[in-house]
Amino acid sequence: MATTSVQNLPQLDAVKQAAAKSKMGQRSLGQDDFLRLMTAQLQYQDPFNPTDNGQMVAQMAQFSSLSGITEMTSTLKTMAAKMGGNGTSDAVSWIGKAVLTDSPTASADNNDNVNGAVELDGDAAKVQLEIRDASGAVARTVSMGAQPKGLVDYQWDGTTDSGLPAGAGPYTISVAASDASGVVVKARNLAWAGVSSVMPNGGKPTLTLSNGSQVAADTVRKIA
């Protein structure tokens, strides 16, 4: 028993020295460090109690798996960075086009029509729009009836409930929706606006719209 204990000392010391050397200047072990430790373990192993082949194979398999995961993570990060760059390039191509985004403010087109959409988080038995003019007065109340979950396009001709022109705008549009039981269904107004410029913003492009507001490119629902 004493002989085995003495013969294990060089092995332990060598492995510890290799581990200490490997950790200098870094927080984790790399492939070279693993091979150095394995070589030291084989060189100083107890000849009466050699390293089990099964354990050695298992260690190598674990390291190989970890190395593969590390390389995959690095590859995914590179892909994500490239995709972020492509996102900015794509958004730049939207300049001069109109996008549909979450906004309570809408403007009329050249034909004095206001085109927009309602986004419903669930099926609604009742959907109603309240449109206010530039002064904040209610210009028109529109009942859209029952609508399914998702986007529901609408067009308003720019006239009040009495049939008179509502003015040049901009208009503020709010949405109220409820299901058959009267429970509120979350909903929001989406408005069309032109894209004036694009800022990269760290790989997450921000659009400056013709109405002066700024929105994230990934919040755009439609492009025209």
Q: What is the pLDDT of residues 95-143, one digit of tens each?
A: 889 999 999 999 888 888 999 999 999 999 999 999 999 999 999 999 9
43 and 69: one domain? yes
111 and 199: one domain? yes
Residue ending a domain, among 91, 107, 135, is 91
Contact 13, 41 (CB under 8 A): no
Alpha-carbon distances, residue 116 vs 15, 30, 89, 100, 151 (angstroms): 70, 56, 26, 8, 10
User: What pTM was computed for the model?
Assistant: 0.58
Structure tokens at 192: 């069309």
Boundaries of domain holding 58: 2-91
26 and 131: one domain? no
User: What does the pLDDT look like over 179-213, one tens digit per residue?
Assistant: 999 999 999 999 999 999 988 877 788 899 988 88
Residue ending a domain, among 91, 108, 139, is 91
User: What does the pLDDT look like over 38-68, one tens digit per residue?
Assistant: 677 767 666 666 666 666 667 666 666 666 6
203 and 105: one domain? yes
128 and 188: one domain? yes
